[in-house]
Amino acid sequence: MTFLKKFIGDKAFYKMAIKVTLPIMLQNLITNFVSLLDNLMVGALGTEQMSGVSIVNQLLFIFNLAVFGALSGAGIFTSQFYGKKDDDGIRYTIRYKLGITLLIFLAGTVIFNTLDERLISLYLHESDGAGDIALTLSDAQSYLKAMLWGLLPFCVAQIFSSTLRETGETVAPMVAGFIAVAVNCCFNWVLIFGKLGAPALGVVGAAIATVISRYVECFVLIVYTLTHKKRFTYLKGAFRSFYIPKNIFNVITVKGMPLLFNEFFWSMGMSLLNMAYSLYGISVVAGTSISSTVMNLANIAFIAFGGSIGIIIGKLLGANKFEEAIDTDRKLIAFSAFCSVVIGVFVFIIGNKIPNLYNTSEETKALAGYFIRTCALFIPVHSFANSAYFTIRSGGKTLVTFLMDSVFIMFVSVPFAFSFYYIFDLPIHTTFFLVQCIDIMKVIIGLTLVKKRVWVNNIVGGN
């Protein structure tokens, strides 16, 4: 019983955890479900179109996670300033977020506008002789050009939603997300296939629908936040200037830059992994697109728990409640792992049936089914790694998370993936499975660091 009490909380504990986690989970659920519908709609156009969109989304994934990493660095301080009840501190983190995301937006816009063809071509190979390379490239370029119009509202929306979550407001970002995905879904149907008198724009229609939804989400979040200034007292004067005290700017930069680099290099590592898989041909690109879309939906539970760990544990650390933080973290990790096992079993059972929903080749369907079922086996592994990452990050150990996450994928997972193709000449099935197995090492490292309590720190000071 003593052992169980260490890992299982009481009714009040789970009520608290679910209150924070459920809105994040529901938002991710709706977002990823609509992504699945998007994937199905684009997939109905053909394998080349789906592959082109998938390649561009790999590139935008790097941009999105760079923004997420930059905001997360400041967000660690937002959570702890909130626990400390320091409104001035929260204002400074908001200003920091505005500045850093503006720089990322400008860099991303220049890179995608000037290097689009070269970046997309990195994923196009004739290995299996299937698919039209030129058509895939053309569709990918058209899709990317339209998607660039959505980068700015995406950045602004993330600033507001991340700050709201870090200060205990998880429902408003969820509602804004619901509205955005509903808009995206409706406009996808209209613009991809030319419904209700609109022209059939194909992949460009899918991009325009996404851009419209991002402006809608941004607008909803801004209006909600600015009309509730009495509730969010830290907003008073937050946008009057970009002033940040030098000591706070420096400490956020020192702690936050590893997170920015971590998300950037981790997303780049994931893109390189997909580049390694693309060596096997366009059918594999389409298959990984289907599997990643499905797994994003399946992974929402442990991803939401990771975000909750950052919020809950960060607040406790900021309030100097160290023992409570340790106990809460242990139980949250256990709860996340349990949910992941249940979901993993379910996804494995139905995994090879899901690709039949797509209008694509039988080879692509078979590959996608294998990828989904393989990933399902490793959901608990990724759950532990994700929980350990957010635990360590909540205490400001961002350099450790950088080494454990992005350095690991760039210097371990990626080299192995390419060597499996170029040196060992392994089939895609074996390569994909072995790459998943590598993450077990990351889990061992992460949980060891959690157990050593290297993360138990108050990084904002105060009593």
Percent of the chain, pLDDT > 90?
47
> Is the torsion defined by CA of 213, 62, 405, 418 positive or negative?
positive
- With 80 as the cut, is the pLDDT of residue 15 above it? yes
Burial of residue 253 (number of CB atoms within 10 Å: 0-12, 13-18, 19+):
middle
Q: Which helix (H) or strand (E) holds 404?
A: none
Q: Which of 355, 379, 350, 349 is nearest to 367 (CA)?
A: 355
pLDDT value at residue 128: 47
Distance CA 70, CA 262 (A): 10
Distance CA 412, CA 421 (A): 15
Distance CA 203, CA 198 (A): 14
- Secondary structure tally for the chain: helices H, strands E: 19, 0
Q: Rounded mean pLDDT of the chain?
A: 88
Of the CA atoms within 13 Å of residue 339, those in its CB half-sphere come to 22
Burial of residue 120 (number of CB atoms within 10 Å: 0-12, 13-18, 19+):
buried
- Output the CA–CA distances (angstroms, integers) from residue 147 to 106, 108, 269, 337, in the order listed: 15, 12, 22, 36
Higher pLDDT, 42 or 142: 142
Question: 149 pLDDT band (50/70/90 cuts)?
Answer: very high
pLDDT value at residue 158: 92
pLDDT, one tens digit per residue, over 155-207 is: 999 999 999 988 888 789 889 988 998 899 899 999 999 999 999 999 999 99
Highest mean pLDDT among 28-37, 122-131, 227-236, 438-447: 438-447
Instruction: Give the tokens for residue 343.
Output: 């979901």
pLDDT value at residue 343: 94
Q: Which of 118, 434, 120, 407 is nearest to 264 (CA)?
A: 407
* Whole-prediction pTM: 0.76
pLDDT, one tens digit per residue, over 227-251 is: 888 888 888 888 888 899 999 899 8
Mean pLDDT on 40-58: 82
Question: 333 pLDDT band (50/70/90 cuts)?
Answer: very high
- Output the CA–CA distances (angstroms, integers) from residue 384 to 51, 161, 261, in the order listed: 31, 25, 22
Mean pLDDT on 129-142: 79
- With 80 as the cut, is the pLDDT of residue 312 above it? yes
pLDDT value at residue 142: 93
pLDDT, one tens digit per residue, over 260-296 is: 888 888 888 988 998 899 899 888 888 998 898 889 8
pLDDT value at residue 450: 92
